[in-house]
Chain A
Amino acid sequence: MAANTQDFVIVGAQSSEANEHISKPALSFWQDAWRRLKLNKLAVISMWFLVIILAFAVLSNFFVPQKQANAFNSDKVGVYKNLPPNSGLPIPGWNGKIKAPGDTTATDVYESQGVPENKKFILGTDNIGRSVAKRVTVGLRISLLVAIVATLIDLVVGVGYGVFAGWKGGWIDNVMQRIIEILSSIPNLIIVTMLGLLLGGGVLSIILAIAMTGWLGMARQVRNMTLTLKERDYVLAAQSLGESSFKIAVKHLIPNMAGTIIVQIMMTVPTAIMFEAVLSAINLGVKPPTASLGSLISDAQAMLQFYPYQVLIPSAVLVLVSLAFILLGDGLRDAFDPRASED
């Protein structure tokens, strides 16, 4: 009999110790989402791009103050106005030379206007001789400030409204839903313009005007999530332990819909940036000499044929920032909800 036990070998489970070993650490929801997000190269690039842009916007307060970007020397407007971008290197189109419409050869505007030898404007100057690079820096700052503060207001109002409506249910939910329906059938442009007119320009009024329209989408999503989540067992458990409704919302409901909320935020910011530009284009934007990306674009638009860089540079910045937010939002949505992209 002893030989028999030798004939059989235990397969697969060499030792109980190896069996107990877990090859992969258990991942929390956030770690798992982060792992999936890292697989999406575009989203990661966008994320770092946005981190750098935000850091730049904050730090630029120290080296490009608003006053410095707005100031211009009224005696030397003729010398410094409308200088094309000059990198100081012989790169075509970036060497301080520009072809006037109709001309075949590019002229060195720095020379012809008598700009001192050592003065170079890397992104050129505007029509009264202010550096476009500095203007775009402060413009980006204002645009981001407007967009982010408006989005934060949307976040607070939209989440509060959505959770309240979804949690209460019944006729309260019904009335609150109708209000959203009515508000969303009025074009955003109209609401933004009306508030812009009423509040009379300035950064604060732009923020409020944009925030007024942005919270609807957030409220609708959050309300739908609340309707599903409030049926969950952990909510019932919290209720039976005597937790207040407010605490349940803050401790259980909102953390569980954080993914949806974050994705929605990523989509709201570019919309807010766009509406800021729209307001500037219809003369309801920031008041000069303050600059925003939108006001830079619409101010320089009249001279598009002659000084295209004055329009195209702020436009490119606006598009890149929006694009980064949208790409990161797409990536985050897939990361939070892998089933949606698995097909």
Chain B
Amino acid sequence: MWKYILKRLLLLIFTLFLVITVTFFLMQIMPGTPFNNPKLTPEALAQLKTTYGLDLPLWQQYLNYLIGAAHGDFGTSFQYQNQPVSMLIGQRLPVSAQLGAQALVVGVIAGLFMGAASARNKNNKIDGTLGVISTLGISIPSFILGIVLVYVFGFKWPLFPVSGWGDSFSQTILPTIALAVSPAAVTTRFVRSEMIESLGSDYVQLAKAKGLSAKEIVNQHAYRNSMIPVLTLIGPMAAGLLTGSTLIEQIFSIPGIGQQFVLSIPSKDFPVIMGTTIVYSAMLMVMILITDILTAIIDPRVRLQ
């Protein structure tokens, strides 16, 4: 077990190193420069380059960046002068994390209930309705859902605030729903098929033969065994949430790292783009790692390789 975790951690660090290296060199060949203000004199430009360490040879810049990144220092933003990237990201990370966690929890819990309800009422109206809802949930991208929610509950019937963060809990409701729908739909479909499978399994047959009521069978046997595999979904879901939250943060004006990322693209704020890229990749990798380890701990049938 420990050997497995160690191996995965090493692979994670190696992957992160690759991501840093590739982004660093991609940024070097990116077209355009943030210093294209025609008012800049050559002297001022040289001054700026020295400040940001851009006058050093490439390999030295790369080495500096690597050493900095290992210490959590991702350089200084081009756009907001004197603001370290790590500080910019550090301020915004908790906001994005809260939004993502809320959406994930709401989505997975809703999915567990809907999936179980769907499986227990297999092939009748409830199952059909939930099937339609979950298929819709998968095909509507979260940002379109976000726009529709803003229109319906923000403008048409103004029930919830549609922008900002941190002033009241009600601000978080619409963005959370917009992000939670896709995990909920994925979980519903998954739990439904898992549970139908376990309802037909031998141990459920045995429980029936033993004389347990349908409710007991579902609660004690079928449900528990269908919940474990849901864990394996959390990794891919986190990836979806990352993409979704970027646009959702923009739509709802939420000061998270997604919004920062989007803002830094047109202004060619390369240090911020790189920093966010690394943080995003690290977050996803850690989520996948945690999921894999949890699955291995909970389900002994998962063979560690």
Contacts and interface: CB of A to CB of B under 8 A. Distances in A.
> Are A and B co-members of a single complex?
yes
Contacts of B15: 182, 185-186
B251 A189 contact: no
Contact of B284 (A187, A277, A278, A318): A187
Nearest to A314: B144
A65 to B, nearest CB: 28
Contacts of A322: 139-141
Given A187-B281, A278-B143, A282-B261, 14 more contacts: A182-B11, A182-B15, A185-B12, A186-B284, A187-B280, A194-B23, A274-B141, A281-B250, A282-B250, A312-B148, A318-B141, A319-B139, A326-B139, A327-B135
Q: Chain B interface mostly helix, strand, loop or mixed?
A: helix
Nearest to B29: A198
B18 A277 contact: no
Given A278-B243, A343-B197, A305 B155 contact: yes
Q: Which of B154, B284, B285 gathers most chain A CB within 10 Å?
A: B284
A101 B155 contact: yes
Interface string B280-302: 11001100100000000000000
7 contacts: A182-B11, A182-B15, A185-B15, A186-B284, A274-B141, A305-B154, A343-B122
In the A-B complex, list the 3 residue pairs whose CB atoms are closest, starting with the nearest.
A323-B139, A322-B139, A189-B243
Q: Which of A197, A305, A311 gathers most chain B CB within 10 Å?
A: A197
Contacts of A315: 144, 147-148
Given A182-B18, A193-B265, A301-B147, A187 B242 contact: yes
A150 to B, nearest CB: 16
Interface residues of A, number: 39
B87 interface: no
Contacts of B136: 323
A282 B246 contact: yes
B184 interface: no
Interface in A295-339: 297, 301, 304-305, 308, 311-312, 315, 318-319, 322-323, 325-327, 330
A270 interface: yes
Interface of A: 101, 181-182, 185-190, 193-194, 197-198, 200, 270, 274, 277-278, 281-284, 297, 301, 304-305, 308, 311-312, 315, 318-319, 322-323, 325-327, 330, 343
B147 A185 contact: no
A304 B280 CA distance: 30
A282 B243 CA distance: 11
Nearest to A300: B147
B42 interface: no
B138 interface: yes
A304 B150 contact: yes
Contacts of A274: 141
Given A185-B288, A189-B246, A297 B18 contact: no
Contact of A284 (B147, B200, B265): B265
Contacts of B45: none
Contacts of A181: 11
Contacts of B148: 312, 315
B251 A301 contact: yes
B31 interface: yes
Contact of A297 (B147, B261, B273): B147
Given A301-B251, A343-B200, A188 B239 contact: yes
Given A283-B265, A319-B144, A312 B151 contact: yes
Interface in B112-140: 122, 135-136, 138-140
Contact of B280 (A101, A190, A197, A198): A190
B282 to A, nearest CB: 10
Contacts of A311: 147, 151
A96 B195 CA distance: 51
A185 B147 CA distance: 29
B262 interface: yes
B30 interface: yes
A109 B197 CA distance: 58
Nearest to A323: B139
Interface in B1-23: 11-12, 15, 18-19, 23
B147 to A, nearest CB: 6
B196 interface: yes
A113 B281 CA distance: 51
B19 A186 contact: yes
A137 B135 CA distance: 25
Nearest to B123: A343
A322 B200 CA distance: 33
B277 A194 contact: yes
Contacts of B150: 304
B212 interface: no
B38 interface: no
B243 A188 contact: yes
Nearest to B31: A200
Given A190-B277, A297-B144, A304 B19 contact: no
